[in-house]
Amino acid sequence: MLAKVALFEMLRDRGIRYVFGNPGTTELNFMEMFADYPDVAYILGLQDAIPVGMAYGYAQATGAPAFVNLHITPGVANGLGNIFNAYKAKTPLVVTAGQVDRRMMLQEPTLWSDLVRLASPFTKWAYEVRTGADIPLALARAFKIAAAPPAGPVFLSFPMDCLDEEAGGPAPWTEIADGGSPAPAVLDRVADALAGSRAPILIAGPGAATPAARTALVQIAEATGARVYGERLPVRSVFPTDHPQYVGMLLSLSQLRAELGGADVVLIAGARKFASLLYTPAVQLPPRMTVIHLDTDPWEIGKNIPVTLGIVGDLAAILPAIAARLADRMTPERRQAAAARAAEVRRERGRREEEWRAAASPPAPGGRMTQEFVYRTLGEMIDDTVTVVDEAITAARIVDRYLPFHTEQAYLGLAAGSLGLGLPASLGAQMAWPDRRVIATIGDGSLMYAVQALWTAARYRIPVTVLVMDNRAYQVLKDGMATYKGGAVPRERLVGMDLDAPVVDIPGVAQGFGVPARLITRPDELRDALAERSSGPRLLDVVIE
C-alpha cells in the first residue's frame, strides 16, 4: 500500500471529515487522493492563515484534533500566526505540509527550507518523515501528541517522494484516556481553605471550559460567596457572565493587584492570561494570601502570579471533587457568613451594571453608536443557541459586560493576539456546530488580515454572520499609546493608526468575495439586521465611534 493511500485510510478511519488547506505543487500527490476519498472533504482557503484558523475553530468546537495541509515554506510561514494562536490556546491541530523530493534537498530548490525548524517554536512536536513507511506511524503519533494534555498543534513535513513510496499499511491509533485527579489529602486541603476563607476570590479561565468544571465553579462560588473574575480576552467562556457574583475580566496585572488586595484565598481555575504587552511590574501578593492554581499544564502554574499550592490535572474531575468536599465543611456559621459575602458581591455587581448601562446608551440623533451600545444590542438579541467568535480587539475588553455567556459553546476568543484568526475560526466553528448560529464580531483592522476567508464562506455556504466593529482606526494602538504616554496623545502623534483616508468599502469588499453585506449606521438598522436569518454568510459593517 502506498503511503498516501495509508494516510487517507487512516484519516477515514479516524473520522476526519474535513482537511483544511491551501495547496501548491509540493502537495500534488496528496491532493489527487481526494478524488478517491469523497468522504474526506477538502476545504479551500485562499491564504494559509485561513485553513489554520478554520481548523482552530473546528477543533475548539469539537475538542478533537483537526487536520490541516499547507504549502511548503510560504504556507507554513503564512500559517504560523494562527498556529501560534493554537499553541497558546492549547488547541489540538495536526498541521502538515508538502516538502520537495528528498533527492533535491541538497540543491536547495525553490520554496525549500527546514520546515521542522520553522514550525518547532510553536508546536508540541515537529517532524519530517524520512521514508514512506514513516508516514502511518508519524500520523498516529501526531494525533496522539496533539490530543494529549495539554493539547496543542503538531507539525509533519511530507517529502513528495515519501508519499509515493510503499508504507505497508495503516498504523494503529493510540488513545489517551481522559482524567486525572490529585490525592484526596490535596483536595481536602483546598476545600478546607475555601471553607474557612473570609474573603475568597475565584478566577476562571479556559482550562475549566467544560460543563462539569463550570457547574462546580458555580457551586463553589455560591457556597463561599466569592467574587468571580474571568481572565482577560479569554479563549472560551467559562463562568456565566450574567451570574450576580461575576464582576468582570481582570484586564491587567495592575487591576489584578487592586482587586485581589483584600482576598485571603484565591482559586485560579484554568486561567493563564494575566500579563499584557506593555510593561507592568511583577505581581507581589501579601504573604497571608493563599493562592491555589489548577491547570492541565504545569508550565502555567505560578508563571505570572505567586502560588501557594499548584495542582495539575483534569479540572472536570478536580473541581467537582472540591465542590463536594466543600459542601461537607460549610457549617451553619460559615454558610451565614458566605451568604453575607454573596449579598455584598451582588451589590457590587449591581453598581458595575449601572456603569455599564450608562456607557451603552443609544447615540444622539445623527451620532455614531458606541461599541458598548452595539454589544448591549447584540446581547439583547442572542440566546443560548448562539456562538460569538470574537476578534474585535478593542471592544473585546467589554464583551462579558453585555453578552450572556452560559456555556463553553457561547464564546471563542483570541488566545495569543495574533490577528487573522477570528473570521476563519468562526467558519470552522460553524462547520462543527451546524445547529448553532455563529456570529463573528471583528474589528475593521482585524478583518483585513484574513478577509479572503469570506470567499471560502461563500463557496461552501457557511452561514456565519460577520459583525464588523468599524471605528476606522487601529483603536487598540491609540489606547496603548495613551497608556504608554500616561495620558491623551495629540492626533498628529498617532501616525499609522487611522483607516479613514481612504475609507475601506467593507461591504463592497465582501460583495466582491460573494458575501451579501450592508453598511449600518443607525440603531434601528442594527436591530433589524441582527433579527434577520440567512442560509449563507453575510456581513454587517457597523460604523461606531
The predicted pLDDT at position 95 comes to 98
Structure confidence by residue, pLDDT tens digits, 489-499? 998 888 988 88
* 330 within domain boundaries: yes
User: Could you tell me how far CA 309 lies from the centroid of its own chain?
Assistant: 27
Q: Among 333, 352, 371, where does a domain finish?
A: 352
* 177 within domain boundaries: no
The predicted pLDDT at position 501 comes to 84
Asked if 439 and 326 sit in the same domain, the reply is no
| Residue 179 binned pLDDT confidence (cut-offs 50, 70, 90) | low
The answer to pTM > 0.85 is yes
CB neighbourhood size of 531 (10 A): 8
| Residue 177 binned pLDDT confidence (cut-offs 50, 70, 90) | low
Segment 325-330 mean pLDDT: 96
Asked if 375 and 513 sit in the same domain, the reply is yes
| Cβ–Cβ under 8 Å, residues 424 and 59 | no
| Cβ–Cβ under 8 Å, residues 134 and 157 | no
Structure confidence by residue, pLDDT tens digits, 421-447? 999 999 999 999 999 999 999 999 999
Distances (CA, A) of 415 to 56, 294, 511: 11, 19, 30
Residue 531 pLDDT greater than 90, yes or no: yes
Segment 385-393 mean pLDDT: 94
| Residue 268 binned pLDDT confidence (cut-offs 50, 70, 90) | very high
Instruction: Go through the chain and tell me how many residues it has.
Output: 545
The predicted pLDDT at position 375 comes to 97
Cell 451570574: give the residue: 243
Asked if 334 and 371 sit in the same domain, the reply is no
Residue 93 identity (one-letter amino acid): L
Asked if 378 and 324 sit in the same domain, the reply is no
Residue 415 pLDDT greater than 80, yes or no: no
Range of the domain at 196: 184-352
The predicted pLDDT at position 423 comes to 97
The predicted pLDDT at position 345 comes to 97
Average pLDDT, the chain: 93
Residue 479 pLDDT greater than 70, yes or no: yes
The predicted pLDDT at position 31 comes to 95
Asked if 347 and 367 sit in the same domain, the reply is no
- Please report the beta strands in 296-394, taking only residues with DSSP state E, as ranges in sequence order: 309-312, 386-391
Asked if 274 and 369 sit in the same domain, the reply is no
* 174 within domain boundaries: no
Q: Among 110, 130, 163, where does a domain finish?
A: 163
* 525 within domain boundaries: yes
Asked if 216 and 330 sit in the same domain, the reply is yes
* 39 within domain boundaries: yes
Q: Residue 85: name the closest of 311, 393, 386 by CA.
A: 393
Residue 181 pLDDT greater than 90, yes or no: no
Asked if 534 and 385 sit in the same domain, the reply is yes
CATH number of the domain where residue 124 is located? 3.40.50.970
Give the Cα separation of 55 and 67 in Å (integer): 7
Alpha helices in 395-493 (DSSP H): 399-402, 422-432, 444-447, 453-459, 475-485
The predicted pLDDT at position 176 comes to 66
CATH number of the domain where residue 231 is located? 3.40.50.1220
Residue 143 in grid coordinates: 494525533
Residue 178 pLDDT greater than 80, yes or no: no
User: Following CA atoms 481, 483, 484, 489 in sequence, which dihedral angle do they give, to the nearest 10 degrees?
Assistant: 50
* 93 within domain boundaries: yes
Domains: count for the chain: 3
Asked if 458 and 535 sit in the same domain, the reply is yes
Asked if 312 and 369 sit in the same domain, the reply is no
The predicted pLDDT at position 318 comes to 95
Segment 343-349 mean pLDDT: 97
The predicted pLDDT at position 180 comes to 65
Give the Cα separation of 139 and 154 in Å (integer): 10
Question: 54: which residues sit within 8 A by CB, 6+ positions away?
Answer: 20, 43, 45, 424, 425, 427, 428, 431, 453, 456
The predicted pLDDT at position 409 comes to 95
* 464 within domain boundaries: yes
The predicted pLDDT at position 300 comes to 87
Q: Among 298, 325, 352, where does a domain finish?
A: 352
Asked if 386 and 321 sit in the same domain, the reply is no
Candidate from 158-162, 175-179, 344-348 with smallest mean pLDDT: 175-179
Compute the C-alpha angle 437/440/442, nearest 5°: 165
| Residue 368 binned pLDDT confidence (cut-offs 50, 70, 90) | very high
* 178 within domain boundaries: no
Distance separating the N- and C-terminal Cα atoms of the chain = 61
Asked if 440 and 495 sit in the same domain, the reply is yes
